[in-house]
Chains A and B, each alone.
Chain A
């Protein structure tokens, strides 16, 4: 298709050395170019991040003080549910797919993704899925309010939104599966001829493993929500106890998807951090091979730990013990990763540009999230922690200061390659400190709230929780504002700024730094061996 367009343009005399198609429809709607699709994914994900963030602001506004001031409890529950669905499926996952689209072909010396037309389709499903999901906010009865975990029987009380919820989850799932197939096909078939698996940059490795996780579990989620759909509309009783069904069955199926899902959101983040730290430490990644094994190990364990989300559900003793032990094991490969990053910094020659700052904060704050994770793995104590703000603090530390921080770090790191301009370092640093201070004011007190006994998903609370909630809300507003500032920084960089070199960062290694900045519309068009010494880490070092 791009070939045709090129000929067409040549014929019309609009020759552009980049071969970019002209016109909005041809350039963006009909694109099969991995870079343009990557940009679409990233822009869409950021828009969803702002939408989901706006919902978080409503939540924090209502929780600013005890008593109900702004919203009704039913609407509050819609906000918590939609915030989570949009952030998980609309912001974090598509953002990593965007990075994969942009960077994987550039990192392995491939001209494009293996399945470019499917790539277009898998992106363009998403705006429709999220328009449909968000439209439920304006329907009678409102949006889904049973939590992003969609537990029956509660979710089935949702009236008409159940059908919209299920269909939009199906569409997101189809999009994710297609994206994952594309990543696997690209990595397996499109590597430059001399690039072996163990020459690949870690970002590529983590995405390869993530893509397998996606293919394995998205159909499971689709199955679970389909059963919700038939329970709601076709009188089946999969989860209806009165009809002989089992409401706990849903939780098992959901978390069989849900636990790998959290690694789907964090493994590519590990990959991004593993690219950035060596660059700014000017030192090869420590323990490349053990990083690959640790990633695979975490992915494997993610399939066998799901019921640690369900310790209070009344499992048999043997079940609880098994899931406790299996969950604790995750700390081992995750620990290896943290230690390897610290060892990469050790005796390096570090500089602290914005991507590095966000990566360092990632290592510290993700580890804090990991610590609370180990604590929650202990089944007898989890009977206290479960469904409290301690859990809310835990998963926001791993998802916001984990996954989102890695995305922001990656955006600063590769923005010069994408746009051809350097961002303003001073503004980047302001963005970093502003975000990092406020995100801790936002989430750290939530540990205390949970331990003191505040359940999650409540719109109003006892006055003993007032101080920490107010603190958390102030942090929340500041963190939200900081991300609006981020839009300004990115916009300014795209519009202009110092010209970026091909190398961009002094210590950067990897094939993406061998092409000019901005990366031309087509790269690595000629199939052939690449200079392995230019590859980022891998066994050749």
Chain B
């Protein structure tokens, strides 16, 4: 008997310990770092407690009944089959509870959709960022600054997540929640997000901001946020968008306004250099080196690092007629995509240099024999 008790105590202790350990990994909604996320957290907690309370009442009555009103205790069944009073009470009370929950929910939703200042004026937005979803990456456009870039799963993570990579993913920090180029935003700023997509529907979600919103081709959706605390906030695509839906994370770095200004200046400088480099004659080695990097982040998801592809959905580049044929046809395909397939047009996503480098790389790798070099300037001329 003692032994059984001991075992029972150990089980309970083990369960408690695992609960504490689990708390570290998060088992509740995050409070987040915006006013909206805090409101959502508050409503979640409030509603959860109401549910727990009702649960205790209903299940309590059931448990009492199960233990008291059982045949083995010789309980004689009563034969009542309705009570108008009881039925009216348990119709009215839930309605009242629902009204109590609905009032704060209405206020919160209005503030999300039609934000106003404390004086009741429309809340002014300080800056606008356009978010475009692609299979399987995000593009961020700082509309007021003319800066834009692609953000996709960080390379180290992309290698580790391949089936049979042999890498222990628990050794990788923030596994699957790291990108090459994070979105950088200033704190204490009203930021308007415009969301759309190029191919299929995606959803942009950072739990710490308290909302997700679909990015839909042909639609421009709107959302806003104002982050109070500097920090790195991570999220993921939340709408099934194809095979690599699980591998298009979102990382937002909220920094002070000064740091943001500095970062923005750097971005503009880099963009300028990049524009100048388009008209420069590149050597084959330069293009191959850059091309390998671009290929592995942008193309290898579908066409695989070996160029073998996954036919029929994702054709092989090794030995491909297009890749071994005239360069202009391949440039056209990469720039404009192939309608009705997963091959998207990269003209709006990648720079001329990146496209030229990636094409050069494919034409001279995987035993392909085209042997020629595609210059960024050529891509630029074809784009126009």
Contact = CB atoms under 8 A, between A and B. Distances in A.
A466 B170 contact: yes
A367 B47 contact: no
A198 interface: no
Contact of B71 (A154, A349, A380): A349
| Contact-residue bracket for chain B | 35 or more
A379 interface: yes
A72 B176 CA distance: 16
A159 interface: yes
Contacts of A317: 109-110, 113-114
| Contact-residue bracket for chain A | 35 or more
Given A317-B113, A343-B86, A374 B245 contact: no
Contact of A460 (B48, B211, B247): B247
B198 to A, nearest CB: 10
Given A338-B58, A345-B62, A453 B91 contact: no
Contact of B214 (A290, A313, A364): A313
A351 B70 contact: yes
A363 B177 CA distance: 39
Contacts of A194: none
B55 A67 contact: no
Interface in B18-59: 18, 21-22, 25-30, 36-37, 39-40, 43-44, 47-48, 51, 54-55, 58-59
Interface string A332-357: 10011011101101111111100000
Nearest to B18: A467
A290 B213 CA distance: 40
Contact of B90 (A339, A383, A464): A339
Given A286-B81, A383-B112, A248 B240 contact: no
Contacts of B212: 312, 383-384, 386-387
A153 B238 contact: no
A455 interface: yes
Contact of A154 (B75, B98, B242): B242
A320 B170 CA distance: 40
A145 B243 contact: yes
B273 interface: no
A154 B201 contact: yes
Grouping DSSP codes into helix (H, G, I), strand (E, B) and loop, the B interface class, with mixed when no group exceeds half, is mixed
Contact of A66 (B65, B175, B242, B243): B175
Contacts of A457: 240, 245-246
B8 interface: no
Contact of B62 (A66, A363, A455): A363
A349 B169 contact: no
Given A141-B312, A153-B199, A451 B62 contact: no
A154 B217 CA distance: 11
Interface stretch (B117-125, B157-165, B279-287, B348-356): B157-165
B109 A287 contact: no
16 contacts: A66-B169, A66-B170, A69-B163, A77-B243, A77-B245, A157-B200, A247-B219, A286-B83, A288-B82, A312-B214, A317-B113, A343-B83, A350-B65, A374-B98, A378-B43, A467-B21
Which 5 residue pairs of A and B lie closest in terms of their CB atoms, listed nearest first?
A241-B218, A458-B246, A448-B27, A452-B26, A371-B51
Interface of B: 18, 21-22, 25-30, 36-37, 39-40, 43-44, 47-48, 51, 54-55, 58-59, 61-62, 65-66, 69-72, 75-83, 86-87, 90-91, 94-95, 98, 101-102, 105-106, 108-110, 112-114, 160-165, 167-170, 172, 174-177, 195, 199-201, 203, 205, 207, 210-214, 216-219, 221-222, 235-247, 310-313, 341-342
